[in-house]
């Protein structure tokens, strides 16, 4: 984050505020108040009040303080609207999606870091629609079924790794989901250990996550700062941006070029990129062909980065939850044994007969959402909601944490409790809101890979429960080690910090089932 001496650009700040006030004075809703929120300071607004860690929880508390499901803060003239209510998110981001489907322009993340064509950040328009069509074609509910064999193959490899190196389960989780997404996106088989492409995807998501947190970098509020030299005190963001740009280049180009070269030589396997390249409409102009290739390359890069880290975060949450709740683990294992048979591995045909396992998947999504503060939307036309003015250009933060921890919907929300999703007969209760309503985003910007993510979570969680016991590790004195359960404190995407656990086969029969999978 910039040092405060950089904020001494008073004339530019005053100009921004003046232009903002002029724009608002012409508003047809000018007489309406903005939603409630913390009192802003002159020029910089609420910039210094924005949280730098546990942002979603702070926004949730602000909602309680102001007794409102919708809030407003001012970041040096830019309106930020925070939505803590699922009902309000549904009204604005779903029903009014034509107005609320764009994305804010982040100078840091796009212009300086080079992630300008990440699908998640592309403004609503022709480029985004073209990218979305590519994704929908390959990842709609029916199309996603084609990837299940790859997910099962990676899951089986993960079980073998748990058997051989149980203490490395955290890194093995990253490897498993990185392996899946590299195979699906590029048809590339990753190295068994330490594949640099998986590390590139992980580092890319960490950089994007940090850069997209509202108020993290003052250059987004004061664009003039992008022109200052890297050596100026307080300009460390320029060095970070330069380093992260190298990661962006590697993310977009390296695996894509590999797949393209393989396709040319005729040795490639089916993948998102190879299918898109083969079906790409050819034009007589180089500019049109280059644009089509850019769409494929940048869309693939988004899959590559997002798919490695996000689903893996929920899977890691599952391990933490089972470690803290051995009785829930035992109940799920009993259900699997009764349906599948002890010593057998579950498959997708068992999913409908394993409601408690399904409840665990849902609770893992709800309890610790991967994107607690969501990914920001932008309002493209001025709007009004319940007597409040929503300015055009306002950044809208859908606080998924607050929605998934609403005690009116999920009683005792801080407790991990799969039973909240079951009825009195032990079946999934349709009256309890599925956390997928918030966990994967909203409206036209909902995650296109959600069907693949959910099916991946089911088979990985069911397979681990069928074969292993997850318990607390012990120290040298034989005392149980209780992990703190901490998560990365800031950023748009969060994950549990690495922790120790004792992971052992449930029995000789389950160990034999894993060994029978082969290499």
Please give the Cα distance from 234 to 252 (Å, whole number): 30
Please give the Cα distance from 502 to 474 (Å, whole number): 8
- Residue 449 vs residues 107, 147, 176: alpha-carbon distances, Å: 26, 11, 17
- Residue 179 vs residues 10, 40, 170, 341, 512: alpha-carbon distances, Å: 50, 47, 14, 29, 24
Scanning 147-227, the segments in alpha helix (DSSP H) are: 148-164, 169-186, 196-212
Please give the Cα distance from 513 to 2 (Å, whole number): 55
What is the CB neighbour count within 10 angstroms for residue 368? 23
For residue 70, list its beta bridge partners. Answer: 83
Write the DSSP symbol of residue 18: H
Nearest to 495, CA basis, from 506, 486, 504, 507:
486
For residue 134, give both structure tokens. Answer: 């590519």
Question: Hey, is 193 helix, strand or coil?
Answer: coil
447 annotated to a ligand binding site: yes
Q: Provide the b/e sequence for 129-146 (b: ≥16 CB within 10 Å).
A: ebbbebbeebbeeeebee
Q: What burial class does residue 261 get, using C-beta atoms within 10 Å of its C-beta: 0-12 exposed, 13-18 middle, 19+ buried? A: exposed
Write the DSSP symbol of residue 508: H
Nearest to 103, CA basis, from 302, 310, 288:
302
Write the DSSP symbol of residue 227: G
Give yes or no for a contact between 303 and 185, defined as CB atoms under 8 angstroms apart.
yes
For residue 184, give both structure tokens. Answer: 């699906």
Q: Rg of the chain's alpha carbons, rounded to an integer?
A: 24
Going by the annotation, the residues of the binding site are 447
**Binding-site sequence positions for heme:** 447
């Amino acid at each position: 984050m910039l040092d405060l001496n950089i904020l001494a650009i008073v004339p530019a700040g005053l100009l921004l505020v003046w232009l903002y006030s002029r724009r608002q004075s012409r508003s047809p809703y000018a007489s309406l108040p903005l939603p409630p929120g913390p009192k802003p300071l002159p020029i910089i607004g609420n910039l210094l009040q924005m949280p730098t860690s546990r942002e979603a929880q702070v926004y949730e508390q602000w909602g309680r303080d102001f007794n409102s499901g919708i809030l407003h803060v001012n970041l040096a003239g830019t309106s930020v609207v925070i939505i803590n209510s699922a009902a309000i998110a549904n009204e604005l981001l779903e029903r009014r999606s034509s107005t609320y489907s764009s994305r804010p322009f982040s100078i840091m993340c796009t212009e300086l870091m080079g992630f300008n064509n990440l699908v998640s950040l592309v403004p609503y328009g022709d480029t985004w629609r073209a990218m979305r069509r590519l994704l929908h074609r390959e990842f709609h509910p029916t199309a996603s079924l084609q990837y299940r064999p790859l997910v099962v193959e990676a899951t089986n490899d993960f079980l073998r790794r748990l058997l051989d190196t149980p203490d490395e389960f955290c890194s093995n989780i990253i490897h498993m989901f990185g392996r899946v997404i590299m195979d699906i996106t590029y048809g590339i088989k990753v190295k068994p250990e330490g594949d640099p492409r998986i590390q590139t995807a992980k580092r890319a998501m960490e950089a994007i996550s940090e850069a997209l947190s509202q108020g993290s970098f003052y250059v987004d509020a004061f664009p003039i700062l992008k022109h200052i030299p890297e050596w100026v005190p307080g300009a460390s963001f320029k060095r970070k941006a330069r380093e992260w740009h190298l990661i962006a280049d590697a993310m977009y180009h390296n695996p894509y070029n590999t797949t393209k070269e393989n396709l040319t030589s005729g040795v490639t396997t089916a993948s998102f990129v190879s299918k898109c390249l083969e079906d790409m409409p050819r034009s007589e102009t180089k500019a049109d062909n280059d644009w089509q290739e850019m769409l494929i390359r940048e869309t693939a890069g988004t899959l590559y980065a997002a798919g490695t880290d996000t689903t893996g975060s929920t899977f890691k949450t599952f391990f933490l939850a089972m470690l803290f709740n051995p009785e829930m683990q035992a109940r799920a294992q009993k259900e699997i044994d009764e349906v599948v048979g002890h010593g057998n591995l579950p498959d997708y045909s068992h999913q409908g007969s394993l409601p408690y396992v399904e409840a665990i998947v849902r609770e893992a999504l709800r309890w610790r959402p991967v994107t607690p503060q969501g990914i920001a939307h932008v309002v493209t036309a001025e709007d009004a909601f319940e007597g409040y003015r929503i300015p055009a250009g306002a950044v809208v933060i859908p606080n998924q944490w607050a929605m998934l921890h609403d005690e009116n919907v999920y009683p005792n929300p801080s407790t991990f409790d799969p039973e909240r999703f079951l009825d009195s007969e032990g079946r999934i209760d349709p009256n309890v809101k599925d956390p997928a309503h918030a966990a994967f985003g909203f409206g036209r910007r909902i995650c296109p890979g959600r069907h693949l993510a959910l099916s991946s979570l089911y088979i990985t969680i069911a397979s681990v429960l069928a074969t292993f016991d997850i318990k607390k590790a012990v120290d040298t004195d034989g005392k149980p080690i209780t992990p703190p359960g901490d998560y990365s404190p800031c950023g748009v995407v969060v994950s549990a910090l690495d922790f120790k656990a004792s992971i052992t086969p449930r029995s000789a029969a389950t160990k034999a089932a894993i060994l029978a999978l082969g290499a």
